Structure 1
Amino acid sequence: MARRKDIDGSMSVPTFYGKELRWKREAAGLSLEELVAGSFYGKSHLSDIERGERRMPFELAQHVDRVLGTDGFFARCCEDVGKARRGPHAAYFQQVLEAERHAETIEEWCPSTIPGLLQLAPYARAQVRAAHPMADDAWVEEKVTARLSRARLFDDNHDVPEYWTVLHESLLTDPVVPLPAMAAQLDHVAGLADRHRIVPQIVLRKSGPYPLTTAPIKVMVFPDAPPLIYAEASYSGTTIDDPALVKQYRKAYDRLRAVALAPDVSLAMIKAAAEGYRNGERPDRLE
């Protein structure tokens, strides 16, 4: 039998929380399956929480308190754990950062910027610098490095989630970096599609009214937990798990995707725009 690896609770707030959770569960003589029974979560989700790799959702914390008889301890501490930061990412993004690594599918609508998961360094740097014009270079580079590290999700040796992104036409026709860098950025998106790591679709300017016109969202679906929606503004973000709202957002995303061009047509347009930038040409419209 493999020896159980102990948890070093001194590493962070989430790992301390997870170590306490495992101690209470084992003291009660319960397996992972027995503790999550009756909740909407799977044992792998709970195991990740015990190792400090995922944050405890509030409703699961309440469930754990009821089963273990811990008088609301895990629910009370849940908010503090959720606020604990890891690295240079914004505090409001922490749950998304963890959720991306465990998602079965990720669907993302980006009306104004290429998604962070798909960005190369020049594009990411331009976005961070535009949002924080007075920040020093070291701080900006730390943010850029952190953003690029998320893209390891698409490495060949990774259990890659199904990733589907809907992009607005302006992201191809309105460069935010020099033309050679813009060509490389679009080549990168096209390359991920050619490697079957992502499925991109384009919404044209002429598409008319459609859902979520200016509201970027990310839909994440998991094999062991209810789905999440992440909605973002310039300097804030909100993770939504309310079932009714999640259902409404997912319906809106499906209607938006129905407006977009087919994936093969979209990919051809991305490649054509990249080739234009490589030749020093800036396309005004895709059609």
Structure 2
Amino acid sequence: MPGPKPLDPSSSPRAMLGAELRHKREEAGLTQEELGRPLFVSGSFIGQLEAGTRRMQMEYAVKMDEILETDGYFARNCEAATKSKYPDHFSEAAEAEAMATAIRQYAPSLIPGLLQTEAYARAVFRAYQPTATEDVIDKLVAARLERAQLLDHPTTPLLWVVLDEPVLRRRVGGRVAMAEALRHIAALARQHRIIAQVLPFAAGAHASLHGSLKLMAFTDAPPLAYVDGLGVGKLLDDPATVSRHELTYDLIGASALSPQESLALIESVAEDYAHEDQP
């Protein structure tokens, strides 16, 4: 059986901590499960810390310094590894997203962040923060567009989205912004960079009426699921929970239009916006 993937400590502060954690754990002769036990976390969680797909919290850093006798190393370096340009409830998910080999996402009301255009993202953030200064909105938009650069790579990560039909019909930013946003999604689909499906109104009740869902897969760490709401988000790593969410996504995809039918609908709605008479 192949050993764990070599880590690149220079790639980020979290990768540095993860590489050192693996080294110290193995030096101490502990398995991931054995290290996780006194921390009340699973062995897979330790594996995700080592791979850099999960953020190390200070409470874990302090405890690891005690267990591994590392003289405060993890506590001292934890703060740098936890800094993020994203909101607290989303920062871990955004950082994991950047390391994922595959992302599958169901979007019930908005175009996913990785697929948003500048005008669409600006309208979303302005709606969230109607009294914010332009400088604040500019920074939020810039961070979102920077995330979207993940798709600059021709093949990785695989991105498969299922858009509920309200995503196409909700006028975020007006008709011009919507036409641009939907054409952007259609272009990525035609370039075979993403897989996009639409879940039509006609599908009726479906497996994720409760809200959005994102699944992330990694080369050297267990998969993660991310669910969110208004100002809150949760990254899930429990294998049974992730498996249940994977089934949910599969059921949604089975109820959605095929990628070809979805592309035709997306382009049709985009044309409707583009040629709609000005009020």
Distance 1:167 1:108, change over 3 A: same
User: Which TM-score applies when normalising by structure 1?
Assistant: 0.76
Counterpart residue number, 2:149: 152
CA contact (8 A) 1:172 1:270 kept: yes
RMSD of Structure 2 on Structure 1 (CA): 3.9
Q: Point out 4+ residue stretches in structure 1 off by more than 2 angstroms.
A: 5-8, 17-30, 34-46, 53-58, 68-74, 80-85
Counterpart residue type for residue 90 of structure 1: P
- Aligned amino acid, residue 276 of structure 2: G
Please say if residues 111 and 168 of structure 1, whose CA atoms lie closer than 8 Å, have aligned partners that are also in contact. Answer: yes
The one-letter amino acid of 1:241's match is D
Give 5+ residue unaligned stretches, structure 2: 1-7, 34-42
CA displacement, residues 78-106 of structure 1 (integer Å, 9 cap, x when unaligned): 9x65993312x101212111111211210
Match of 1:210 among 206, 213, 218: 206
Provide Cα deviations, 1:158-199, integer angstroms capped at 9, x if missing partner. Answer: 652111101111221232222122111101000111111111
- In 1, the alpha carbon distance for the partners of 2:131 and 2:251 equals 40
Q: Sort the Cα spacing of 1:25 and 1:196 in 2 relative to 1 into closer, same or farther, 3 A.
A: closer
Structure 2 residue 267 is matched with structure 1 residue 271: yes
Query: Residue in 2 aligned with 1:86?
Result: 84
- Aligned residue in 2 for 1:244: 240
Tell me if the contact between 1:83 and 1:91 (Cα under 8 Å) persists in the aligned partners.
no
Contact 1:42 1:224 in 2 (8 A): no
Tell me what 1:55 maps to. 55
Q: Please list, as runs of the form range in 1=range in 2, the aligned pairs for 1:1-287 lying within 5 A after superposition.
A: 15=13, 40=44, 46=50, 49=52, 55-56=55-56, 69-70=68-69, 77=75, 84-87=82-85, 89-155=86-152, 157=153, 160-280=156-276
Check conservation: 1:36, 1:43, Cα contact below 8 A: no
Tell me the alpha carbon deviations over residues 122-164 of structure 1, each in whole angstroms, 9 at most, x when there is no partner.
1111111111112111101100110111111111x46521111
CA contact (8 A) 2:215 2:246 kept: yes
- Match of 2:5? none
Query: Are 1:45 and 1:224, in contact at CA under 8 Å, matched by a contact in 2?
Result: no
Unaligned runs of 5+ in 1: 9-13, 283-287
Q: State the distance in 2 between where 1:239 and 1:28 align.
A: 24
Residue 133 to residue 153, structure 1, CA distance change in 2 (3 Å)? same
SS of alignment partner, residue 176 of structure 1: coil
Residue 219 of structure 1 aligns to a residue whose secondary structure is: strand
Question: Percent identical across equivalent pairs?
Answer: 33
Give the distance between the partners of 1:118 and 1:181, measured in 2 at CA. Answer: 13
CA contact (8 A) 2:224 2:236 kept: yes
Name the CA distance, whole Å, in 2 between partners of 1:145 and 1:24.
33
Question: 1:281 and 1:271, CA in 2 relative to 1: closer, same or farther beyond 3 A?
Answer: farther
Report if aligned partners of 1:85, 1:91 keep a CA contact under 8 Å in 2.
no
Query: Which residue pairs with 1:11 in the alignment?
Result: none
> C-alpha deviations, 1:107-130, integer Å up to 9, x for none?
000111010110001111111111
TM-score of the superposition, structure 2-length normalised?
Answer: 0.78
Distance 1:23 1:206, change over 3 A: closer
Q: What is the alpha-carbon distance in structure 1 between the residues aligned to residue 48 and residue 211 of structure 2?
A: 32
Aligned-partner residue type, residue 249 of structure 1: H
Distance 1:244 1:194, change over 3 A: same
Tell me the number of residue pairs that the alignment of Structure 1 and Structure 2 aligns.
260
**CA separation of 1:57/1:243 partners in 2, compared to 1, >3 Å: closer, same or farther?**
farther
